[in-house]
């Protein structure tokens, strides 16, 4: 019985100047094959100028159960947004 | 529809009162239009139903390459051949996006393929019909991919994030498939009388199986009602089928071809076409494995998979060796 090839997550940069974005995943026996497969599966229509592949097993993700503890502290800090401070009509360039 | 008669394993739609606290929160998120992601809590029945639906969809994309592969070496021009190859390559890609989406639900790729190859998992009934002439490449793109688009566009808004995102990619590519098919039909319909007859023959053979793709009426189906509550099915089979007929009849008229249905007529009051009875015994028969090409399709798939085993093993062994070398260095 052969073992399943590892899963890789694929990130594509669509244009110079933009960040790589997660587009999906695929199976491949090694990194080189993962890049080749990503080319065929995710960039058949000029979607990318650069590909990153990362073993899915190597990604550390936050847990949905920790969502409250992780993200709630930001909820009460609305003053971090510029819209918190209304500016008078006649004051410009702010 | 690429996924037909998807079971939920439930005998009645779950009411709020029957749900536990977790499930009520889950349903509230779905009702609010929030996407469910892979690591979020979800009811076991939702997970299993999605695995069935997404994998059936993936298998359909993969098996769907076979009827078209039949014409690659006999395409009438090099351009048509290149287009057909690109379309078939897209189908492989669609299968891969969907297998990946299914895997986020905790099932392995090998298990999914084993279920297809053993005949346990279903794929769309439409791919068990033979492709007898070049015009079938036109009819499939126009009617089959056209129907697939109607089914898949709503799924871009379904509740499960990875499935919805895969559908967005698929839909973008699918309109190329439908258009290249209609383009073939236009060439044939404007060609010699023999070519036009070929186009009409393809329409005659693919029309009814295409309407069957959406599955039997599910107005009374518990599975469909539950899937609708989970927002993994957004319109009824009959609604989607009506949409397909309404948009396709004028396209056939443009081609000067006749839809093979003597009962077809436009109802000016409803603004919809009325169409004849569908032979559901044929549909159920194909689904049971007795269609014209069921055994041929599965045999071809299994042969390709088993024939490639030594190659996949070799690549795995090479990767292990390189990894061991890197470790030693």
CA distance B87 to chain A (A): 11
A64 at B interface, C-beta within 8 A: yes
pLDDT at B5 > cutoff 80: no
Query: Confidence band (pLDDT; 50, 70, 90) for B3?
Result: confident
**Any idea what DSSP says for residue A57?**
G
A45 at B interface, C-beta within 8 A: yes
Length of chain A: 94
**Any idea what DSSP says for residue A50?**
E
pLDDT of the residue at B236:
94
* Structure-token pair, residue A3: 């073992």
Please enumerate in sequence order all residues whose Cβ is within 8 A of that of B134, keeping only pairs 6 or more positions apart, or say none. Answer: B71, B74, B75, B76, B184, B198
A41 at B interface, C-beta within 8 A: yes
Rounded distance, CA B229 to CA B207, Å? 31
8 Å CB contact of B96 and A26: yes
CA distance A2 to chain B (A): 7
8 Å CB contact of A7 and B103: yes
pLDDT of the residue at B16:
84
More confident: B11 or B166: B166
Rounded distance, CA A33 to CA B314, Å? 13
8 Å CB contact of B93 and A44: yes
8 Å CB contact of A44 and B109: no
Look at residue B76 and give its three-state secondary structure. Answer: coil
**φ, ψ at A50 (rounded to 5°):** -160, 145
Q: Which of A4, A24, A44 sits opposite B109 (nearest CB)?
A: A4
Interval B218-231: pLDDT, tens: 888 889 999 999 99
Mean pLDDT of B45-52: 96
């Amino acid at each position: 019985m052969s073992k399943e090839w590892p899963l890789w997550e694929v990130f594509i940069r669509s244009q110079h100047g933009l960040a790589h974005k997660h587009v999906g995943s695929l199976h491949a026996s090694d990194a080189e094959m993962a890049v080749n497969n990503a080319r065929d599966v995710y960039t058949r229509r000029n979607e990318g100028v650069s590909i990153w592949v990362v073993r899915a097993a190597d990604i550390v993700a936050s847990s949905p159960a920790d969502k409250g503890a992780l993200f709630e502290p930001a909820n009460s800090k609305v003053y971090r947004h510029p819209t918190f401070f209304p500016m008078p009509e006649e004051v410009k360039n702010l | 529809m690429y996924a037909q008669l998807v079971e939920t394993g439930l005998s009645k739609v779950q009411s709020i009162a029957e749900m536990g606290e977790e499930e009520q929160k889950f349903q509230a998120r779905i009702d609010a239009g929030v996407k469910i992601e892979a690591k979020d809590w979800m009811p076991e029945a939702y997970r299993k139903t999605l695995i069935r639906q997404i994998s059936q969809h993936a298998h359909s994309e993969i098996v769907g390459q076979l009827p078209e592969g039949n014409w690659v070496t006999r395409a009438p021009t090099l351009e048509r051949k290149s287009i057909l190859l690109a379309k078939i390559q897209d189908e492989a890609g669609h299968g891969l996006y969907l297998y990946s989406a299914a895997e986020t639900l905790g099932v392995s790729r090998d298990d999914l393929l084993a279920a297809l190859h053993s005949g346990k998992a279903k794929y769309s009934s439409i791919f068990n019909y033979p492709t007898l002439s070049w015009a079938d490449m036109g009819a499939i793109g126009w009617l089959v991919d056209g129907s697939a688009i109607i089914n898949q566009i709503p799924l871009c808004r379904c509740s499960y994030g990875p499935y919805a995102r895969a559908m967005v990619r698929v839909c973008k590519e699918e309109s190329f498939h439908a258009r290249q098919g209609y383009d073939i039909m236009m060439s044939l319909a404007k060609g010699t009388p023999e070519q036009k007859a070929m186009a009409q023959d393809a329409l005659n053979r693919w029309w009814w199986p295409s309407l069957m793709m959406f599955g039997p009426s599910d107005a009374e189906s518990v599975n469909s009602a539950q899937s609708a509550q989970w927002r993994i099915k957004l319109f009824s089979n009959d609604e989607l089928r009506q949409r397909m007929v309404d948009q396709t009849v004028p396209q056939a008229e443009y081609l000067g071809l006749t839809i093979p249905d003597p009962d077809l007529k436009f109802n000016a009051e409803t603004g919809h076409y009325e169409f004849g009875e569908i032979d559901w015994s044929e549909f159920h028969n194909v689904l049971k494995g007795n269609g014209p090409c069921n055994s041929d399709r599965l045999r071809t798939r299994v042969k390709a998979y088993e024939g490639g085993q030594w190659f996949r093993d070799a690549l795995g062994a090479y990767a292990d060796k390189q990894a061991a070398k890197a470790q030693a260095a």
